[in-house]
Structure formats: structure tokens, C-alpha cells
Structure 1
Amino acid sequence: MRSTHLEKRSMLRVISPGFQTSVQDAGRFHFAHLGVSQSGAADPVAFRLGNRLVENQENTPSLEMTLLGGTFEFEEDRLIALTGADCGPTLGQQSIPMWTTIPIRAGQRLECRAMQEGARTYLSIQGGISVQKVMESAATHLQTGLGGWHGRAIQKGERLPLDGSFHPSAFRLQSVPNTLQRYLQERTKIKITRAPQTDLFPDSSLKVLTTASYVVSESSNRVGLRLTGKPIDREKKEELITEGISLGAIQVPADGQPILLFVEHPTAGGYPKIANVISADLCKVGQLKPRDEVHFQFVDVDEAIRLYRKQDRLLTDTPLQRELNF
């Protein structure tokens, strides 16, 4: 029954999946007590704007491509948008812009290449990828095999079902204004707040965290980013009693090399947490790739809230720019 049903739907054919391409939405919430972290789009801002460009609901499932993009063939006319890191996309032999609504015709191939100045690109398709929700979300949790497309990254030759349909008389070509793109591309510093165990670290360690530069290790992934640089000293070397961990927590293990926990982080752990990335800067973390430098800056909770509200207003209130062609 399932295969018959899928044959009748509009499909997206995977010619090449890229390095790691998965179905993601905004993530699943309220399941940390079951050991399931949020998952979802690593760059929630690029994900949200992509859906806005194709006039989807902002939590519509999209494809998240990491470091190297895929090649896809559309079996039906659609509108798409590519947001996040520039992947040098082409449609046929023609280059197409990022952050812009693009009409795709049946039979055309979209090719996305290696990411530039970032780690992840989002392919948002009018109507979205059609997958069943698990724990109230369509996001793929790669570490546990939950959700998304069979709980894993997509593979060569697969055909992904799409929701909705294309209405030529109703679509609008639009793009994200340059002013908003420049705001998103500012990644020089990642802002942090104090964490539950900040007081366990001497002032000298806090100074190291905010003055030294750290490099993203090759062993980083959606679970967390291992950072290498000047070690951070701990006043107490023993581990803590295991407790809950939040998205964006910065743990310091015994070797002093910080670990920035990300969207598929373990929900509990015993390493002390020196700081936590603010919500508004999680999109910056999602675009960090191996060998990128990271710099941290402490802000207080009031400033973190102000910055989050500012970002939300920009995403909600900034009008998209009308395009006549591309």
C-alpha cells in the first residue's frame, strides 16, 4: 500500500545525496526526559527563511545539506529556495542565486556543490518533504535513528515524496534583502552566558575562554563541536553528579579542551559547564565547519533575551524583496 501511495505523489529524485543530507524541521521538544534531544535544523534562521521564501509554514520539513551538497531531479514543477552556506548551485548549466525563490520545471536537475563560508545549506521546497512525524517532529535524529527519512541521511537513488503542488498563477519570485543577509553572515564572535558551573572556574579560566581563539576539530558533528586551543583550567578535577544538559552548553572535560554541545547532544552528563551559547547565536554554531576559528564573548541574560527578540523581529518583520527574474 505504501509504495502504491508514493507512486501517485510528486517526488524528488536523489541523484547524489552529498556528504550528509537529512530531512529537518525546527526540532522536537519536551522529550529530554526520555533521552531525546532537540535535533532539527542546525541553522534555524536559514531554515526559517527558506520556508518563508517559498511561502511554506515556517516549520515545514526541508533538506539540510552538510559541507557538500547533493544533486536532485524534480518530477513536477516546484518553487525552491536555497539558504545558508553558498553551495554554488546550478540548474542545468545555469548558475542560480542563493536566498532567492527559484522556479523548477519537471525534469530539471539541481546541483549543489561544496559549501563556501559555512557548513550547511537548506533546500526548501514549496509544500515540503512529506515524512511522518515522530515525537511531534519530522526532524532526523541521526544518532538514534528517529524521525525524518527512515531515521537516517538520504541515499543515492531514493525518491522523496513532496507535499502540496505548484500553482503558476500564484507564485512570487522574492529574495532575502542584502541587509538581512549581512546580519546573518556576521560570525566573528559567539555570545555566551554564564552556566550552572561557571563559578567552579577561576577568573583566569573565564578570561582564557573569552580571549583565546579555539578551532573546530575534525571530529565535530551534530552532537557537538570539539574545540582545540588553550586549555581551560578547572578548580576541581573530579566529575560532577550527572545532570541535565541544554542545547549550546560548553562543557570542559579534564583535558581542558571545551566541547560545545549541539542539536543532537546527550541530554545528561557530568562535565562542568562553563558557559552556554545564547539562542540568537545558535545559527552561527550551525555554520561552523572543521578548522574554523571560534571566539566567545560573555553577555548577561537580559542582553541575550534582547538579542533573541531583535533576531525574531528581523526574521518576522523584514519584508522580502520582489524579484522579476534571476
Structure 2
Amino acid sequence: MRKRFEWIDNIRGVMIILVALGHIITDGSIDNTFNSIMRMPTFFMISGYLFKFKPRKSYFKHKVMHLLVPYLVYLIPVLAIQMFFEEKGVIEYIARLLLGGPYLYAWTGVFWFITCLFFTQQIFNLFSNWKIKNITILMIIFLLFSYVNDIFFPSINIPLSINLCLYSCPLFFMGFLFKKIIEETSVSIVFPISILFLIFLTSTFYFNNLYINMKIADYGVPFLSFILSVISAFCCILIFKPFKNFHLFSFFGRASMVIMYLHLPFNYFILYIEPNLNPWLILSISVLTPTLLYYVFKKNPISRKYLLGE
């Protein structure tokens, strides 16, 4: 079994709470610009940090079981329930199920992340024999084309969100590079906290156009939003890495994929039953319930395999 990094689970825990917060607290009481800069980009960079090149065939099979099987096991019933409540037809249900990515919304709106992550990992694993210099050049080209998509073709809808890999692959690559940089970096925790606070102030009160929405290929201010995402993730690592025995957020981090799949279905179902319920209470239920379900699923080998991809 692969060794778990508690500090990475803590970062994932913080990020998945930010994801749920950004999706559920939409009454304007908080500004989500800083949140958007950190949450999804950090998930891709953490995945890159953990990445090791593997034989392509076995890696593909492993990730199909780890990502795509749970993706379908959750998507099929959740999308069916969504279509039932919205009184949509079977044809539309099947079309959205097959196309995924940008064709999923509301209850299943965040499922784009899974297919995007899968293709990002598979693309990057193709570079096993490449020099870092050549990968860097290609990632810059990817990033440039992601802005072409953002600026000139903002309404393009590619099935399974494959076009988003133009942006996610450079993020993944930056995480991959972090491994060596982190080992050689030793600073007071005050420094990364100060940098994050500065980014928070700048993005919240001065430059709201830094907002990133990866699902619709809206990448904020070209290059600047990307750089701030990279710096934010780097700061998070510097903050959490020294605290190897800190567990507060790691419980959510381990359950992050289950929370990713289920926080929006819980949110919309609760709103259907009780539309005036306090959104902060809905947020708590939508995060805590999938977390508890994760630890229930862990106890059974069948649910571990098909619901957790383990």
C-alpha cells in the first residue's frame, strides 16, 4: 500500500471544503475569487506532486479502476435522480452521461474534474522519456493554447472536458516540479502565510477578474491567475508540510473524492426539500455526510473497490 502523506491529506481537506463552500455559499456573503485561485488548481498540482512515471498500459488500467469506475458508479444514479427531478427525457440523460464534462451541471456539475484529471495523468505519463526542458516547452505551449480557448472560443464544449487539459497539464507539471523545490526550501511559516494573505487581499478587494472557473475554461487574467495559483499551492505545502501529525483536515482530505462527488447532490436535494434552510448548515451537512460515508465505504472490500477506487 502506498504511504500516505498526512500533510497532503490536510491540504486536500482544506481544498475540498473550499470547493464545497464555493458551490454552496452563493448568496454573495463571501467573495470566492481567492477561493477559485486555490481550490481546483491545487488539486491538480498536488496530483502532480505525487506523480511518478509508470508503464503506460498498467498505469492506464490502474487509473481506470481508481478514477473512472467510481466516476461512473456515482454519476449514473446521481444524474438519473437529477434528470428525474428536472423531468428530463431518457435521451438527454444518456447524452449527458456519455458526453460528461461541460454537459454536466447542477447535481453533477463538478464531475468534470474526474475525467479531466484522468486525461491529465495519462497525457503526462506519455513524457516518461522526455527531458524536463522539453516538457517545460510543451507545457508553455499548452498554457498558450488554453488562453486561445479561453479568449477566442469560450463557449466551446468538448466532451469529457478534454480541452481543459491544456490548462490542467501545466498545473500538474508545476506540482511535479515542486518535489525537488520543496526539499530544498526552508522558511518560517510566517512567510507563506503572509504571501497567501497578500494574495487574498489583492484578489478579494482589488482584482476580482483574477477569478478562475476551470469547468468553463475561464482562466482569469492570462498568466497572472496561473502564477498566483502556483504560488498559493506552494505556500499551502510550506505551511502544512512541517506538521506531520496534524490531523484536523486530513479526515476530510482522505474523503475528498467522495465529498467531491456528493456535496452538490446533497446540496440540491436539501434545497428541494427545504429551500429556505441556512446555506451554512447545508454546507456542513454536504461535507460531513460524505465524509462519514467514506469511512463506512472503507470497511467493505466491494465499496472500497467500486466507490473509492481502491
TM surpasses 0.5: no
Greater helix proportion:
2
Name the TM-score, length of structure 2 as normaliser: 0.27
Report the TM-score when normalising by structure 1. 0.26
Higher strand proportion, which one?
1
> Which of structures 1 and 2 has the bigger CA Rg?
1
Q: Which has the higher contact order (CA 8 A, sep 6+)?
A: 2
